[in-house]
Chains A and B, each alone.
Chain A
Amino acid sequence: MGGKRTDLLRGTLDLLILKALSLEPLHGVGVSHRIAQITQGAFQVSFGSLFPSLHRMEERGWVEAEWRASENNRRAKYYRLTSSGRAQLTVEERDWNQMVKIMRAAVESA
């Protein structure tokens, strides 16, 4: 695949994961692919950050996990957004848009 490695802004990883999970439940590898897909390959999330984030979200109750068979019949751990996860997604989207607006204004003002 080999997209270029862009350092994620702190906090954006959560947003991306939540966004990735908002359509359907996914397993870890699936989340990684979905993020690559929705960012047109711009972000390649390392599993070293992805798994801890998924587990943290599970701790916080934003996602719940469930074991089931993957597309090619392997057992895999699927993560699903909970209602509080959806709420969190809304909050993060709003924050992000705010941030983008502020940053754009700041950049263009000069």
Chain B
Amino acid sequence: MIRRTVSLFRNLFRRSAVERALDEELQSSVALLTQEKMREGLPPSEARRRALMELGGIEQVKEDVRALRAGCLVEEFAKDVRYALRTLARSPGFTAVAVLTLALGIGANTGLFSIVNGVLLNPLRYSEPDRLLALYSRTPTYDQSSVSYPNYQDWVRENRSFSALAAYRPDDFNLTGMGEPERVPAEMVSASFFPLLRVQPVLGRTLLPDEDQIGARPVVMISEGLWRRKFGSSKDALGQSLTLNDVAYMIVGVIPADFHYTGINFQQSDVYTPIGQWNDPTFRDRRAGMGTFAVGRLKPGVAFEQAKADMDTLGRHLAGQYPEADKDMGIALVPLKQAVVGDIRPSLLVLMAAVGFVLLIACVNVANLSLARSTRRTHEFAIRAALGANRGRVVRQLLTESLLLALAGAGLGLLVASWGMRAALNVLPKALPRAEEVQLDGRVLWFTLAAAVLVGILFGLAPALKASRSDLHETLKEGGRGLSGARHRAQSAFVVVEIALALVLLAGAGLMVRSLAKLWRIDPGFDPHHVLTFYMSFPSTIDSPQVVRATWRQLHDRLNAVPGVQVASLAAGAMPMADESDLPFWIEGQPRPSTQAGMKLTLFYLVQPEYLNVMRIPLERGRFISPHDDEHSPRAVVIDERFARDYFGGQDPIGKHVNFGILNVTAEIVGVVGHTKQWGLDEGPAPGLEAQCYLPIEQLPDRFIPLAARRVGVVARTAGSPLAQPGSIRRALGQVNTRLVMYETKTMDGIVADSLGARRFSMVLLGTFAVLALVMSCVGIYGVIACLAGQRTHEIGIRLALGAERWKVLRMVLGEGAKLALVGVAIGVVVAFGLTRLMAKMLFGVSAHDPLSFAGVAGLLVLVALAACYIPARRAAKVNPVVALRNE
């Protein structure tokens, strides 16, 4: 075997060395012959000519040798393959089960690997992606918060480590003047953004630094999609104007359709406008982040650590210069890829390990099947050995069979993978970053091939070695019926391993299911059923604060009058489990913190009085916002119980005043309501950002009205299904203003479910793998017990003939199965105990060693295994003693 392998290796990879040796051998032969001829008295030239003639031409001989060497290998291999195909075709049942098992195993692995490959392994699709970093503001409570634009501008000016920095924040526009008005997603980006990512426009140019300033003329880059949709991909689009929120923007370039950026808070957009043109006062406030984030490209030769030190110095400098905004703040740098996929990494690795187990079970299963089959083929092997086949030959023959099976499994597995991958991504697309980059690429195909070969060798080797080692003499004597105890033990060991592996997977899946069950039972603090949410865009013709407020009131009345809508409220600022918005504050009477970093933060919800009834949040003290809390009345605020507990302790908060520095508003606390789970059902401790407060939307100061009007949402409680409502609601909006656009329509139930997306993704996959494992290990134990019972037919026949009761035979066979299952489960529990700890982060409310989950899956596995054994056991018990004995 080894020699052949070396020779194969030589032939395949060291072609030239083999060639050189052959050439040298022939040349030396010519020389030897020539010398002989010269000794016979011929002149040198004639001697050489004769020698060459006698040899028959060096190239000719070489060609013959080459053909033979290649032919040997190919011919033997072809013979092996033909024989293997014939053998496999003769047992179609075995072949089908084996290929199917392997297809599932390899397919599941390929599918998950393609996800891991697309998300974790592949570099981001930009030029030199390793040089890209995400930049954040670091506050005492948050390592990664948004960046205020003035700070960003100072970073750009003063850093020494980056060849470029870019800032971006999401926005939305009403696109009018081109057919139906529509809402288009937009992103404000700095002029440096596309050059930094080295994105080449399909047409035109990117934004210019001159255009990235207040007062510059409005320009826009559009997506290739919008370009195709609205301009038919015509080059004439350049220089034309696009009416966005009633302002004409000149189109300067088109962004290619394959551009994706998965950085935090970036939305794939149809239009990209220069961020520097935005003159909103809050945006220009050094204390406010406004959802702006930054990305940078390191200068060549600058290491990550250097850049970090540089930015730390810069941060300290800014803190000294602008203490109110920047004291105790810093700058955080994270490699962009880590920023994009960091959170999902541990879960994907756990899933990869789980799916590896599935493959292992598939291997063990097929190994077991072929072991059982090789038992029946012992006779064949013995005859072949007697006819002179050496052991290596038989092993190679069996390995060829396993490789063929594995490759067939892999081929089918690719189908399983591409189907399963698409299904997984379709069910839960939002759970994964970079999901659009997942595909079956070259690396995945190599992975599949490697998996197939490895699997082929893994499950082929054990039976092959066993078969070839069998004692010729004994076997022939036994008439091929013999089954040595060793093989029994191997098969049983395999089943135990399978059951143990299956238990580990089941335990993992069980823990996930329990976690999710716990999560679903959690009270989010509001009632999400029958609630519809959506956002409305305001035409910019509604611009003065008075008109905006009037429109809001009008919308409120109209929405509450829509048939089927029980109660509705506008909602801006934060939205539970969907939008985050926070404000720094201090409480009147307590010392005012001198710096921004020292301020406490609270989530804020800008709402109307009906909000409480739509969301069914309990009112605990005082009152909620009332219709009288308008712009003319004293400012009122309602806080949640967490706010009351954290900042007032035992005192009664009602009547106290809260100062919101950025808004320049001091409001009186008029009521306390229940806490809602802003961060999803699995909301962990969100340090420093748990307090919540509700402000009447109409009391928002004039200065902030245009900003709030950019994104106003609605929550509406409906009598029937919320999804039946959008039509009538859209008509109601149209009656207020024909240019109001409704977008991001969702049910609150859907939003709650989305908050568990990542966990559900893990649970669904882990559950699928566990079920696969369960089925495969049951097939395994069924096979072995059936085989054992079959082999004991004779013995059972004797027992029955001697008067043994049938139920005792049944119990005996079931007992064999139970023994294997219990040993497997015991080992599995120990292994799972060690391994589930690794998935502690994916769990919620259950310990990684949750006894209930463990006991549950262990019981399930034993039951299913026994059920699988029942069929062969009953068959054994029904044996007719006469037939069984006559069979001999």
Report A's interface with B, CB cutoff 8 A.
27-29, 46-49, 51-52, 55-56, 58-59, 61, 70, 72, 74-77
User: A70 near B32 (CB under 8 angstroms)?
Assistant: yes
* Contact pattern, B 1-43, Cβ under 8 Å of A = 1, otherwise 0: 0011001000000000000010011101101110100000000
In the complex, B56 has a CB within 8 A of chain A: yes
| A51: chain B residues within 8 A (beta carbon) | 25-26, 61, 64-65
User: A59 near B72 (CB under 8 angstroms)?
Assistant: yes
CA distance A45 to B55 in the complex (A): 10
User: A28 near B29 (CB under 8 angstroms)?
Assistant: yes
User: A76 near B26 (CB under 8 angstroms)?
Assistant: no
| A46: chain B residues within 8 A (beta carbon) | 56
| B26: chain A residues within 8 A (beta carbon) | 51
**Min CB–CB distance A33 → chain B (angstroms):** 9
In the complex, B887 has a CB within 8 A of chain A: no
In the complex, B353 has a CB within 8 A of chain A: no
User: A59 near B64 (CB under 8 angstroms)?
Assistant: no
Q: Given the interface contacts A52-B68, A77-B21, does A27 sit within 8 Å of B3 by beta carbon?
A: no
In the complex, B744 has a CB within 8 A of chain A: no
| B69: chain A residues within 8 A (beta carbon) | 55-56, 59
User: B3 near A75 (CB under 8 angstroms)?
Assistant: no
| A55: chain B residues within 8 A (beta carbon) | 65, 68-69
In the complex, B54 has a CB within 8 A of chain A: yes
Report B's interface with A, CB cutoff 8 A.
3-4, 7, 21, 24-26, 28-29, 31-33, 35, 54-56, 60-61, 64-65, 67-69, 72
Nearest neighbor of A50 in chain B, beta-carbon distance: B61
A-B contact pairs, 9 of them (CB 8 A): A27-B25, A47-B54, A51-B61, A51-B64, A52-B68, A59-B69, A70-B28, A76-B28, A77-B28
Nearest neighbor of A55 in chain B, beta-carbon distance: B65
- Which of A27, A48, A49, A59 is in CB contact (< 8 Å) with B28? A27
User: A74 near B31 (CB under 8 angstroms)?
Assistant: yes
Nearest neighbor of A56 in chain B, beta-carbon distance: B68
**Min CB–CB distance A61 → chain B (angstroms):** 5
Residue of B21, B61, B72 with most partner-chain A CB within 10 A? B61
Q: Please give me the 7 A-B residue pairs with the lowest Cβ-Cβ distance, nearest first.
A: A52-B68, A77-B25, A48-B56, A29-B32, A76-B28, A52-B64, A47-B55
**Min CB–CB distance B68 → chain A (angstroms):** 4
CA distance A42 to B56 in the complex (A): 19
**Min CB–CB distance A52 → chain B (angstroms):** 4
**Min CB–CB distance B49 → chain A (angstroms):** 15
- Give the secondary structure class of A's interface: helix
CA distance A51 to B28 in the complex (A): 13
**Min CB–CB distance A58 → chain B (angstroms):** 8
| B55: chain A residues within 8 A (beta carbon) | 47
| B56: chain A residues within 8 A (beta carbon) | 46-48
CA distance A48 to B35 in the complex (A): 20
Nearest neighbor of A44 in chain B, beta-carbon distance: B54
User: A27 near B29 (CB under 8 angstroms)?
Assistant: yes
| B21: chain A residues within 8 A (beta carbon) | 77
Nearest neighbor of B21 in chain A, beta-carbon distance: A77
CA distance A29 to B30 in the complex (A): 9
**Min CB–CB distance A93 → chain B (angstroms):** 15
User: A74 near B28 (CB under 8 angstroms)?
Assistant: yes
User: B35 near A72 (CB under 8 angstroms)?
Assistant: yes
Nearest neighbor of B64 in chain A, beta-carbon distance: A52
- Which of A48, A58, A72, A77 is in CB contact (< 8 Å) with B24? A77
| B7: chain A residues within 8 A (beta carbon) | 58-59
User: B61 near A47 (CB under 8 angstroms)?
Assistant: yes
Q: Given the interface contacts A75-B24, A77-B21, does A48 sit within 8 Å of B32 by beta carbon?
A: no
**Min CB–CB distance A69 → chain B (angstroms):** 10
User: A48 near B60 (CB under 8 angstroms)?
Assistant: yes
Q: Given the interface contacts A52-B65, A52-B68, A59-B69, does A47 sit within 8 Å of B24 by beta carbon?
A: no
| B72: chain A residues within 8 A (beta carbon) | 56, 59
Nearest neighbor of A53 in chain B, beta-carbon distance: B68
CA distance A75 to B31 in the complex (A): 10
**Min CB–CB distance A88 → chain B (angstroms):** 11
User: B3 near A61 (CB under 8 angstroms)?
Assistant: yes
| B28: chain A residues within 8 A (beta carbon) | 27, 70, 74-77
| B68: chain A residues within 8 A (beta carbon) | 52, 55-56
**Min CB–CB distance B319 → chain A (angstroms):** 77
| A75: chain B residues within 8 A (beta carbon) | 24, 28
| B64: chain A residues within 8 A (beta carbon) | 48-49, 51-52
Nearest neighbor of A52 in chain B, beta-carbon distance: B68
**Min CB–CB distance B18 → chain A (angstroms):** 10
Nearest neighbor of A71 in chain B, beta-carbon distance: B32
| A70: chain B residues within 8 A (beta carbon) | 28, 32
CA distance A43 to B25 in the complex (A): 23
User: B33 near A48 (CB under 8 angstroms)?
Assistant: no
CA distance A72 to B25 in the complex (A): 15
CA distance A27 to B30 in the complex (A): 12
- Which of A47, A48, A61 is in CB contact (< 8 Å) with B29? A47
| A48: chain B residues within 8 A (beta carbon) | 56, 60-61, 64
CA distance A96 to B488 in the complex (A): 44
Residue of B25, B26, B54 with most partner-chain A CB within 10 A? B25
CA distance A52 to B66 in the complex (A): 8
User: A76 near B61 (CB under 8 angstroms)?
Assistant: no
User: A27 near B32 (CB under 8 angstroms)?
Assistant: yes
Nearest neighbor of A46 in chain B, beta-carbon distance: B56
- Which of B3, B4, B25, B67 is in CB contact (< 8 Å) with A28? B25
| A56: chain B residues within 8 A (beta carbon) | 68-69, 72
**Min CB–CB distance B270 → chain A (angstroms):** 66
Nearest neighbor of B56 in chain A, beta-carbon distance: A48
CA distance A58 to B7 in the complex (A): 9
**Min CB–CB distance A20 → chain B (angstroms):** 15
| B35: chain A residues within 8 A (beta carbon) | 72, 74
**Min CB–CB distance A80 → chain B (angstroms):** 14
CA distance A75 to B20 in the complex (A): 14
Nearest neighbor of A84 in chain B, beta-carbon distance: B390
User: B32 near A76 (CB under 8 angstroms)?
Assistant: yes
CA distance A29 to B33 in the complex (A): 7
**Min CB–CB distance B61 → chain A (angstroms):** 5
**Min CB–CB distance B71 → chain A (angstroms):** 9
CA distance A59 to B72 in the complex (A): 8
**Min CB–CB distance B26 → chain A (angstroms):** 7
Nearest neighbor of A60 in chain B, beta-carbon distance: B72
Nearest neighbor of B57 in chain A, beta-carbon distance: A48
| A61: chain B residues within 8 A (beta carbon) | 3-4
CA distance A46 to B69 in the complex (A): 18
CA distance A46 to B56 in the complex (A): 8
CA distance A28 to B24 in the complex (A): 12
CA distance A74 to B36 in the complex (A): 13
CA distance A4 to B68 in the complex (A): 27
**Min CB–CB distance B33 → chain A (angstroms):** 6
| B3: chain A residues within 8 A (beta carbon) | 61
Nearest neighbor of A75 in chain B, beta-carbon distance: B28
Nearest neighbor of B7 in chain A, beta-carbon distance: A59
CA distance A2 to B61 in the complex (A): 21
| B32: chain A residues within 8 A (beta carbon) | 27, 29, 70, 72, 74, 76
CA distance A77 to B27 in the complex (A): 11
**Min CB–CB distance B23 → chain A (angstroms):** 11
CA distance A28 to B32 in the complex (A): 10
CA distance A29 to B34 in the complex (A): 11
| A74: chain B residues within 8 A (beta carbon) | 28, 31-32, 35
CA distance A28 to B69 in the complex (A): 17
CA distance A100 to B229 in the complex (A): 89
| A72: chain B residues within 8 A (beta carbon) | 32, 35
| B31: chain A residues within 8 A (beta carbon) | 74
**Min CB–CB distance A35 → chain B (angstroms):** 14
**Min CB–CB distance A43 → chain B (angstroms):** 15
| B65: chain A residues within 8 A (beta carbon) | 51-52, 55
| Extra inter-chain contacts (13) besides given A48-B61, A59-B7, A77-B28, CB under 8 Å | A27-B25, A29-B32, A49-B64, A51-B64, A51-B65, A52-B64, A52-B65, A59-B72, A61-B3, A70-B32, A75-B28, A76-B32, A77-B24
| B54: chain A residues within 8 A (beta carbon) | 47
